[in-house]
Copies of this chain bind each other. A is one copy, B any other.
Amino acid sequence: MDAVLHALADESRRTVLEILRDHPASAGELAEALPIARPGVSRHLRVLREAGLVDVRQDAQRRIYTLRPEALVEVDEWLGTYRLLWENRLDALHAAIARGKKARR
């Protein structure tokens, strides 16, 4: 969880994920699509790999990266502990609106 959130804090890394969400890609393709040079991308991928957000598969000289969205389940579950809170708050808001309408009749 810590590693995942840390990995997501950087926008470039999130962009990598968004590319991989559409299709697997090699390190080189990712580097082309990003504003940073290849070595930087390699380091981003290393972080994502260690956070469990991507998988690598070797194809000759190329390394094909694929998304591994299971890791995001952790974040999803963590958010779950707050989801109840904001749902309650929205319910309260709806109730307040309903009371307001009623009062205006």
Contacts and interface: CB of A to CB of B under 8 A. Distances in A.
A84 B67 CA distance: 13
Given A73-B86, A86-B73, A89-B70, A2 B11 contact: yes
Interface in A47-105: 67, 69-70, 72-73, 75-76, 79, 81-83, 85-86, 89
Give the interface size bracket for A toward B: 20 to 34
21 contacts: A2-B11, A5-B5, A5-B14, A6-B9, A8-B9, A21-B81, A21-B82, A21-B85, A67-B82, A67-B85, A69-B83, A69-B85, A69-B86, A69-B89, A70-B86, A72-B79, A72-B83, A72-B86, A73-B86, A75-B75, A75-B79
Closest 5 CB pairs of A and B: A9-B9, A69-B86, A69-B85, A69-B82, A6-B9
